[in-house]
Amino acid sequence: MGPPWRFRGEPLALEWVADGWHLRFVQPYRATKVYRCPGCNQEIFPRTLHVVVWPEGEPSRRRHWHKACWERRFAELRRAARRGGQAT
Ligand SMILES: [Zn+2]
C-alpha cells in the first residue's frame, strides 16, 4: 500500500472484551511509566508487558495490572459471578 494510504491503527494494540470488562495490552515499548498494580500492590516497571483494564464504557476507571494479577482477579470475579455472589 502506498499513497494515499496511511497506516492508522496500532499494530500491537491487542484489545479484548469479556464480561463487561475491556482489556488492552500495553506493549513494553509503550510502557514508559511506573504503575502500581491493584492486584498485588507492587509496582509495574517500565518496559514491562502489562494490561490496562476498565469496565466497558468507563475508561476513566482504567487501571494498570500485571497480566498475571488481572488473570487471577478475573478468575475470582467469574467464580463469584457463578456463585451469584458479589465480588469485592
Ligand atoms: Zn500485580
With beta carbons less than 8 A apart as the criterion, state whether 64 and 39 touch.
no
Between the CA of 41 and the centroid of ligand 1 the distance, in Å, is 6
Question: What confidence category does residue 36 fall into, taking pLDDT thresholds of 50, 70 and 90?
Answer: very high
Between the CA of 4 and the centroid of ligand 1 the distance, in Å, is 44
Between the CA of 35 and the centroid of ligand 1 the distance, in Å, is 10
What pLDDT score does 37 carry?
A: 98
| Distance, CA of 43 to CA of 40 (rounded, Å) | 9
pLDDT more than 90, % of the chain:
57
Q: What is the mean pLDDT of residues 73-85?
A: 88
Check whether 28 has a pLDDT greater than 80: yes
Between the CA of 13 and the centroid of ligand 1 the distance, in Å, is 21
Question: Model's pTM, two decimal places?
Answer: 0.78
Between the CA of 48 and the centroid of ligand 1 the distance, in Å, is 12
Which residue has cell 509495574?
44
What pLDDT score does 84 carry?
A: 82
Who's near 36: CB < 8 A, 6+ residues apart?
Answer: 42, 43, 44, 64
Check whether 64 has a pLDDT greater than 90: yes
State the average pLDDT for the chain. Answer: 86
